[in-house]
Structure 1
Amino acid sequence: MTDPSGNLEIQVNRTAAGAQCWIRSTRPVHAASVFIGRTAAETSVRLPRLFSVCARAQAGACAAALEQARDCVASPLTQIRRERAIAVERGREHLWRILLDWPGLLGTAPARQDLRLVISETTRLLAALDAQGDLFHPGSEAPAELARQAVFDAAASALEAQLTRSLFGVAPTRWLDEVIDATRFEHWCRVTDGVAAPLLRHLIDANEAGLGPTDIAVLPDLPDRTLLEALTGPGAAHFVARPTWHGVARETSPYARMREHPLIASLLGRFGCGLLVRLTAALLEVATSFVAGTGPDQAPAPPPAQVNPPGTGVGIGRTQAARGLLVHLARLDQDRISDYRILAPTEWNFHPEGVVAAALTALPPAPDAAWRRRAELLITAIDPCVAFRLHLT
């Protein structure tokens, strides 16, 4: 199948009275309709192949939606392993940006060799977590022990060493324990020579840490029933393309997830909700995702709440993908898909009245080259997950 990612056209018109921003998306947000008529089993296998990024997050949301629609539940251990796999993938997605894009924002070469090592070791981790290839099949049961524990342990150790060398200067767990507020974070930025610290240090020294502040509220924890109504009601097609909550655009992002973490809360107090906080939230998620993905299986999670009476054939699945909340809706008729919808974080964050538009219009006046560089920094920090073109007038 072809990649349905599409792209974003971002137009900013700057005048003496201020800036205006328009965002046009060519993302085929209704691409999941290709699964109408397929069985639940076929869909769970084929749907992740439709996406070039966050395939396991897509698989996790798909499996959860189909399980709810079929009135079945994956074993608690399966749910835990799925979350571990999604955490590994979430960290890898952030590392793509950090290792490839962040150096270029300072005019230095991408850390391609570091990324190759990250991809190699995370691929081994994911293969060990899903040795049978059925972790994301509806109703699956994970084995009590990992079939490839030695492979998993070796990959986790190699990845930890790589993250220590290329990013944190210390092991990720130690970094999480020690870099807990703005003062310690700034000290870390100044004494560390990894890929991430130079950009963060530059933002502080150039007085650019607070660029792009917004007052866009984060997306609340919407109940499944609320999402079900929005995704099946008469305005469902529009909601998937340009979602709002209570008529207002919302944000779902690494910052939205991490805003109450002590480090982010401290940085907010010193620098505000701008560029530095957003980039740091992604870096923080690399460390927390490594811990979540490579640690032991935790206590079983409680089974998901059933929002529909048994036998209705409709299910909601959700997961936290790298860029924000990902929601799937599946409707089954005789175990075949009669409706399938995906609500992705890009549509929230790159809504024409959303956080990206607000951040760009908040940028202060500057010559074209400087303004474009700052705008691209902000777009990279919020991360569209697809290609974008920025037009300035």
Structure 2
Amino acid sequence: MSSLAGRLCIDVQHATDRIVAVTTNLQRPLEHISRLLTGREPEPALRCIALLFSICSNAQQVAAVNALEQALGWQTPLEVVRARQQLTELELIRESLLRLAHGWELPIAADQLKRLVSLCQHGISALQPMAGLQALADDPQRGELNTALQQLAEYGQQLQDIGSCGWLMPRLAHWSGITLGGAVPEALEPTRIEPLLAALREGRVTAEIDGQPRMTGPATASEITGSAGRQIEQRVMALLHGACRSMAALQTLPPVACMAQPVLEAGEGMALVKTARGWLLQRIRVERGRIAEWQIIAPTDWNFHADGLLRRQLRGIRVPVEQAETLVHELVLSMDPCLDFEVKIDHA
């Protein structure tokens, strides 16, 4: 993301070989972004989205345009809906590959990674015009795009094979004796967000449903209990398998509604879009042709809630003080935040 992205700080209190408390401080200027967009006409506001976000920028644009079209009462052609879905899936693949390669040392040759990312970027560039208001389904680059999608599908099976080679185990072996605990939050269910919509209308932009945190994306692969090594492996493999599924399905994606559409008020639109890190939500309200409200809840807001997965699983576990910072760092990395983060250990 841009310099407006914010920062994630994890403060850990450690005493007598045990983590006694975890504080998750997620600093995100979403209110500032909302104020920046409020008062603008829809098209200039939509153009701002591409400038404000660098990570998952296409997902942000697609969520925004989908919500805006709902708010304006416009019908979107099914071909455009499909193209936008392909656009966000291509971004999901690219973001997943980059995280797997640079964060988890996915055993893939540099030239092959470069080729995969290039194919994703080629498709993204061809489909980007579909993220505009009143986009037309006519696409003169469809032939070249289909070739890129086909090549990505062929690479998908190769990545599946890499996933079965156990490349993570040497790195995670020293966490096999550390057991995580705590009741994990429920997974975010896109078809059950009506309580969240009610809260957003009241101005409560919080990553909660009925007062409880949720988790989304690879974090949902977590077991209720289990070793830290096992859970990190599950999340990383969930990221890899998700990318492989997207690569295999790029050419056959049906236009789908990702949520049971709640009853919206006049001038209101809401959209959920799948990203590598989980569900991205935007709600927009338009009055007299201008933006009256623009609310965003990103996957990182769900996954790093103050009473979320990380705090619940780490509090009370036994881990030597010299290993605590590395363990927390790898757990955070396995949940794939969309911004920079730091871990601080307070040796009580």
TM-score by length of 2: 0.85
Are positions 1:351 and 2:305 aligned together?
yes
Write the deviation string for residues 12-43 of structure 1: whole angstroms up to 9, x where unpaired: 00123642101112211221321112111222
Over the residues paired in the alignment, what is the CA RMSD in angstroms? 3.2
5 Å-filtered alignment, 1:106-255, equals 113-130=111-128, 133=129, 135-143=130-138, 146-159=139-152, 167-169=159-161, 188-189=164-165, 197-200=166-169, 202-203=171-172, 205-206=173-174, 208=176, 212=180, 214-216=182-184, 217-221=186-190, 223=192, 225-234=194-203, 236=204, 239-240=205-206, 243-255=207-219
* Alignment-derived partner of residue 383 in structure 1: 336
3-state SS in 2 of match to 1:53: coil
- Name the structure 2 match of 1:21: 22
Q: Conserved in 2, the CA contact under 8 Å of 1:128 and 1:148?
A: yes
> 1: distance between equivalents of 2:231 and 2:143?
42
1:61-109 Cα shifts (integer Å, max 9, x gaps): 11121111111121112111111111111111111110111129xxx9x
**Partners in 2 of 1:209 and 1:55 — Cα distance?**
39
Question: CA 1:4–1:374 in structure 2 vs 1: closer, same or farther (change >3 Å)?
Answer: same
Q: CA 1:112–1:390 in 2, change beyond 3 Å: closer, same or farther?
A: farther
Query: SS at 1:385's partner residue?
Result: coil
Tell me how far apart the structure 1 counterparts of residues 3 and 63 of structure 2 sit (CA, whole Å).
18
SS of 1:12's equivalent in the other structure is strand
* Alignment CA distance shift 1:281-1:291 (3 Å): same
Identity %: 23
Shift of residue 318, structure 1, vs aligned partner: 1.3
Kept in 2, the 8 Å contact 1:19–1:361? The answer is yes
Q: Is the 8 A contact 2:92 2:276 kept in 1?
A: yes
In the alignment of these two chains, the number of paired residues is 341
**What is the CA–CA distance in structure 2 between the aligned matches of 1:383 and 1:352, rounded to whole Å?**
16
Which blocks of at least 5 consecutive residues in structure 2 are unaligned?
Answer: none
> Which residue is 1:307 aligned to?
263
Q: Supply the AA of the counterpart residue of 1:102.
A: W
**Larger strand fraction of residues:** 2
Change (3 A) 1:296 1:348: closer
Unmatched runs of 5 consecutive residues or more in structure 1: 171-184, 190-196
CA change 1:35–1:353 in 2 (3 A) is: same
CA displacement 1:240-277 (0-9 Å, x = unmatched): 3xx22222222122343xx5xxxx9xx99997972221
**For the Cα contact (< 8 Å) 1:213–1:274, is it kept in 2?**
no
Gap change, CA 1:88 and 1:379, over 3 Å in 2 = same
Deviation at 1:164, TM superposition (A): 6.0
| 1:344 CA displacement | 1.2
Q: CA separation of 1:379/1:229 partners in 2, compared to 1, >3 Å: closer, same or farther? A: same
